[in-house]
Chain A
Amino acid sequence: MATLEISSVKKNYGKVEVLKGIDLSINDGEFLILVGPSGCGKSTLMNSIAGLEDVSSGDIHIGGTNVTGLAPKDRDIAMVFQSYALYPSMTVRGNISFALEIRKVPKGEREAEVERVADLLQISHLLDRKPSELSGGQRQRVAMGRALARHPKIYLFDEPLSNLDAKLRVEMRTEIKKLHQRLKTTIVYVTHDQIEAMTLADRIAVMKDGEVQQFGTPQQIYDDPANMFVAGFMGSPAMNFLTCTLECIDDCYGLSVTTSDEERYFLPLQHGDSSLQEWIGKEVILGIRPEQITHVIPHKQEESSVARFTAKVAVAEPTGPDTLVLINLNGQEVDCRVHPMEEKPAGSDMEFMVDMSKAVLFDPKTEKRLL
């Protein structure tokens, strides 16, 4: 267990810059998730931490030690691979104890360690099987077992759940979370699944094009995205982006939207201040999450941040706990999350309320946050 510090790490392949100066640091025992679309450099960053790839410049410190130039085996790390990379010719026992054997741990201790890990992951009955005789979920457990068998400073997980089916993935996600709570280890975890990122992380680094777009706690990333990319990437269904014009009525900043029935509504902003002055009359992008546009909830409708409007339901998609309703505002599609009991069929008018307290504004050109 240890801290991890990554300072201005760059990586070039010839002229292609894969990592453009990454700065991240996490404390002892924290769960860091690197998330982003494929090709964003998250796996390269992970391999650089592991020492499987050299960095072009910058430093990586694990537990206070500069490991930038060290070989993987000298960094005191363990890694779980996407393909699990279990040694096919060895039994599960052999796989788990391989690293200990290489490090010349005495046989008795090795066996005790294998037993401990097998108990922890409930794979004791599989110890004498070969990887080819295991199911996908079992292989995944063995891969984790192999990483847990030593007590390294940092665990690295490279998309460990992406080869599992949906149900098993959710189960293993919970297991990993439990494991982390129990072992209090420092973990770096790469995924492209934003739900995995939200559920597991203490801190998330959202990456795109070799740069960290935002680094923060899951709730910060979700409620307070730094730019349109982060806002759109995190959350499912994704945040609505609505191009509209900023207005100022009686010192109250707000946005006007038009429904498909040509009805105009004014949505007042909660935290509008004079910094928005220069944007009055110009187009901005309103970012608002589907769960903030709902059916009218009586005890909430009097709050100052709430605005109401009526719009025609274009499509209704029931998901069980709630129904996603698609409406049209300013000629753009907007997702709303309503209670199934309140749902109206497609084509009929429905009354909605918007909670503007968590609404965000973006500059349409730079895609940066305005508010």
Chain B
Amino acid sequence: MSDSINTNARRVRVSRIALYAILLLAVLFYLLPLIVMLLTSVKSMADIRAGNLISWPQEFLLDAWVKAWSSACTGVSCEGVGSFFWNSFQITLPAVLISTFLGALNGYVLTKWKFRGSDIFFGLMLFGCFIPFQVVILPMAQTLGWLGLANTTTGLVFVHIVYGMAFTTLFFRNFYVSVPTELVSAAKIDGAGFFTIFWRIILPLSTPIFVVCIIWQFTQVWNDFLFGVVFSGGDTQPITVALNNLVNSSTGVKEYNVDMAAAMIAALPTLVVYVLAGKYFVRGLTAGAVKG
């Protein structure tokens, strides 16, 4: 009797060890690119030439990071990616906040203030999620020209808001479907109007879906390259475009350590957002998806 319990326990322990070993391997495999990038970015050029891709650095140097930030050449100018990093913030913050807010408003209307044809309206809006970036480039360039927003940060923000709204509307609409409509009825009887109900009743319930939406939009807008390269002027380019320019403008030697450091700088904000709010992301997604 106790023998069988013992063997059983041992079998469980062995399978546990095997499981964790496999998981550990998988983690290593997925982390490998990041490790290579980090290691390369702190090596000196001599170090890179001497060793192989995953060899340990001879000494840890932050020179490449400093150069990438402030003095690496991106095309003709040699001022690093620092200023473009701030450009990206100037583009991303308003684009994310405005598109998320509009998505919340759309979702509120499409679920709690339904009008004739509102479901068709939502269906058509969903098309926006399936349209590839490339399709909208030409018409959007023309529109921005008419609006006098060509090659400006405002113009690029506008493009991101329009393109992002389909997704944010989808998120909020699906979340608000599960918010009981009786809440809105009760507020109407209490005398509250359209915006009062939105501010006082609906928005305070929306934290999880706001987190999801902000993470999603932040990642999309920050990582965007195509809209950035097409619609922004030289000084207002986002960091993704600058990174591309930095990697492509070589002056004789290919400085892998600087390239890697610049890439890390470009990826840092999205990494931070995920680390800080990642658990809300999963929670919020399921909160929207599962009714009740």
Chain A interface (Cβ < 8 Å from any Cβ of B): 47, 50-52, 71-73, 77-79, 81-83, 85, 87-89, 98-99, 102-103, 146
Contacts of A82 in B (CB 8 A): 182
Whether the Cβ atoms of B192 and A85 lie closer than 8 Å is: no
Bitwise, B155-188 to A at CB < 8 A (1) or not (0) is: 0000000000000000000000000101101111
In the complex, are the beta carbons of B190 and A89 less than 8 A apart?
no
Quick one: which of B189, B201, B204, B205 contacts A73, CB cutoff 8 A? B189
Within the complex, the shortest CB–CB distance from A134 to chain B, in Å, comes to: 16
Provide the residues of chain B in CB contact with A81, threshold 8 Å.
182, 185-186
**Contact in complex: B190, A85 (CB < 8 Å):** no
User: Closest CB of chain B to A45's CB: distance in Å?
Assistant: 15
Contacts of A103 in B (CB 8 A): 191
Residues of the A chain whose Cβ atoms lie less than 8 Å from the Cβ of B200: 87, 98
What chain A residues lie within 8 Å of B204 (beta carbons)?
A: 88-89
Most chain-B Cβ atoms within 10 A of its Cβ — which of A78, A81, A85?
Answer: A85
Other-chain residue from A52, A89, A102 in contact with B191 (beta carbon distance below 8 A): A102
* Smallest beta-carbon distance B178→chain A, Å: 13
B286, CB-defined interface residue at 8 Å: no
**How many B residues are at the interface, by size bracket?**
10 to 19
**Interface contact B180-A73, CB-CB below 8 Å:** no
Nearest residue (CB) in B for A103 is: B191
Closest 8 CB pairs of A and B: A89-B204, A99-B190, A85-B182, A73-B191, A85-B186, A102-B191, A72-B188, A81-B182
- A52 & B188 in contact (Cβ 8 Å cutoff): yes
Q: Verify B183–A87 contact, CB threshold 8 A.
A: yes
Q: Sample 22 A-B pairs with CB under 8 A, ordered by A number.
A: A51-B189, A52-B185, A71-B188, A72-B188, A72-B189, A73-B191, A73-B192, A73-B193, A78-B189, A79-B185, A79-B186, A81-B182, A81-B186, A85-B182, A87-B200, A89-B204, A99-B189, A99-B190, A99-B191, A102-B192, A102-B196, A146-B186
Check B182 against A83 for contact (C-beta < 8 Å): yes
Within the complex, what minimum Cβ distance (angstroms) separates B154 from chain A?
A: 35
Instruction: Give the residue of B180, B182, B190 whose beta carbon is less than 8 angstroms from that of A98.
Output: B190
Verify A85–B185 contact, CB threshold 8 A: yes
Which residues from A are CB-within-8-Å of B183?
Answer: 85, 87-88
What residue in chain A is nearest B188 (Cβ atoms)?
Answer: A72
Residues on A with C-beta less than 8 A from B188 are 52, 71-73
Q: How far is the CA of A249 from the CA of B29 in the complex (A)?
A: 100
Contacts of B186 in A (CB 8 A): 79, 81, 85, 87, 146
Instruction: Tell me the nearest residue of chain A to B179, going by C-beta.
Output: A88
Please, how many angstroms separate the alpha-carbon atoms of A26 and B71 in the complex? 84
Q: Give CA–CA (A82, B192) in the complex, Å.
A: 20
* Residues from chain A with Cβ under 8 Å of B196 in the complex: 102
CB distance from B78 to the nearest CB of A (A): 52
The answer on a CB contact under 8 Å between B189 and A87 is no
Apart from A78-B189, A89-B201, A89-B204: 9 A-B pairs, beta carbons within 8 A: A50-B185, A52-B188, A72-B188, A73-B193, A85-B182, A98-B200, A99-B190, A102-B196, A103-B191
CB distance from B64 to the nearest CB of A (A): 49
Report the minimum CB–CB distance from A90 to chain B (whole Å).
Answer: 8
